[in-house]
């Protein structure tokens, strides 16, 4: 007689494939919420890798990759993007089991994914017989045209559509050159989000979750400030190449300070016992409003000097 645990494995694998495939389909066929859906693609892979182990857990992303290839009609750059998200979930669990610090866990997972993505783009460009630069430039141009068509369907005014259409070449030029920062920052962000969300899920299901400590007390190394200053000064230089390099570095560092800013907000939410509904509303506002996003980044950056959470200082009797 087969033990119950063994009978549960195929069922769990099938559930993992179904859940991950559903998130993928939402991300592809519902553009307005596609970005938010794509952020959570690594989570079911991470969960079922932890629940089923390495071999059985690997079936979930492998089957989803096969399904994605069939749905999209072949191996494309878009499929490669989703493959990397699946790999990210798998690698996060691999580093979870090593019980590393949260910085190393996210850094190693991000590095692995970006490294394989770069290798995949090189292989794809060789098979397609097109240079990497042209491949990336053409891909961005096609997506900009799709975005413009989406805006037209949403009823954006013709004046704004024409303004965007005239600016497409310039936008494409900039996006191609800041693509490294966008890739690094987005992968860091997705790794960070899934690492945070995994904690209550893993705890509820009694799965191993590393002891990362109180993440609402997390802070970036102080010397990152010099990176912000140096990259900011590079933006003032006359060389366009140095400006782009400075912007790429600045964008990545600001993403890291965004994490610190969110940690500060989470810290005070916990201290003041803010209701969960209000927390969700504020986090949603931060995600949707650029001004709120900048405020959060500013909190993280100036925390280096102002120490909003009084970390490393003895608390006074009136402080929690």
pLDDT at 315: 45
3-state secondary structure of 267: helix
Q: Tell me the pLDDT band of 141, cut-offs 50, 70 and 90.
A: confident
Architecture of the domain whose range is 1-131+182-211? Orthogonal Bundle (1.10)
In the chain, where are the structural domains located?
Answer: 1-131+182-211, 214-311
Asked whether the beta carbons of 51 and 201 are under 8 A apart, the reply is no
pLDDT at 160 over 90: no
DSSP per-residue string spanning 268-288: HHHHHT--HHHHHHHHHHHHH
Both tokens assigned to 314: 């003895």
Mean pLDDT of the chain: 87
Quote the pTM value.
Answer: 0.89
pLDDT at 31: 65
Can you tell me the mean pLDDT for 7-20? 82
Cα separation values, 158 from 31, 51, 301, Å:
21, 52, 40
pLDDT tens column, 79-135: 888 899 999 999 999 999 999 999 999 999 999 999 999 998 999 888 888 888 888
pLDDT at 232 over 60: yes
Rounded Cα–Cα distance for residues 145 and 150 (Å): 9
Rounded Cα–Cα distance for residues 301 and 257 (Å): 6
By residue count, the chain amounts to 320
Of all helices (H) and strands (E), which one includes residue 169?
helix 158-177
Residues 6+ apart with CB under 8 A from 88: 42, 45, 109, 110, 113, 187, 190, 191, 194
pLDDT at 229: 94
Asked whether the beta carbons of 297 and 254 are under 8 A apart, the reply is yes
Q: Which residue has the higher pLDDT, 276 or 161?
A: 276
Nearest residue to 40 via CA among 182, 183, 191: 191
Residues 6+ apart with CB under 8 A from 4: none
Rounded Cα–Cα distance for residues 12 and 10 (Å): 5
Both tokens assigned to 6: 């063994």
CA 199 to chain CA centroid, Å, is 17
pLDDT at 32: 66
pLDDT at 314 over 60: no
Q: Which residue has the higher pLDDT, 25 or 151?
A: 25
pLDDT at 5 over 60: no
pLDDT at 148: 81
């Amino acid at each position: 007689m087969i033990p119950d645990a063994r009978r549960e494995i195929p069922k769990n694998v099938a559930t993992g494939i179904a859940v991950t495939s559903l998130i993928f389909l939402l991300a592809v066929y519902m553009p307005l919420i596609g970005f938010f859906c794509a952020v959570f693609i690594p989570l079911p892979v991470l969960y079922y890798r932890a629940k089923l182990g390495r071999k059985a857990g690997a079936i979930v992303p492998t089957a989803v990759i096969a399904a994605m290839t069939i749905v999209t009609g072949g191996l494309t750059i878009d499929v490669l993007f989703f493959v990397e998200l699946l790999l990210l979930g798998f690698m996060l669990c691999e580093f979870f089991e090593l019980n590393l610090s949260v910085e190393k866990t996210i850094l190693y997972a991000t590095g692995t994914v970006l490294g394989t993505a770069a290798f995949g783009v090189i292989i794809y460009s060789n098979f397609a017989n097109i240079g990497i630069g042209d491949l990336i430039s053409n891909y961005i141009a096609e997506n900009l045209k799709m975005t413009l068509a989406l805006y037209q369907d949403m009823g954006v005014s013709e004046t704004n559509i024409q303004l965007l259409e005239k600016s497409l070449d310039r936008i494409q030029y900039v996006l191609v050159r800041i693509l490294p920062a966008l890739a690094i920052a987005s992968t860091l962000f997705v790794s960070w989000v899934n690492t945070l969300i995994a904690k209550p899920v893993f705890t509820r299901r009694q799965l191993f979750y590393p002891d990362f400590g109180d993440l609402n007390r997390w802070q970036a190394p102080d010397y990152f400030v010099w990176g912000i200053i140096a990259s900011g000064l590079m933006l003032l230089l006359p060389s366009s190449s140095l400006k782009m390099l400075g912007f790429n570095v600045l964008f990545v560092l600001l993403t890291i300070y965004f994490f610190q800013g969110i940690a500060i907000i989470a810290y005070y939410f916990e201290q003041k016992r803010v209701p969960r509904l209000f927390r969700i509303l504020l986090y949603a506002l931060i995600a949707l409003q650029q001004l709120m996003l900048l405020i959060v980044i500013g909190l993280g950056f100036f925390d280096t000097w102002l120490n909003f959470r009084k970390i490393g200082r003895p608390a006074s009797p009136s402080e929690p």
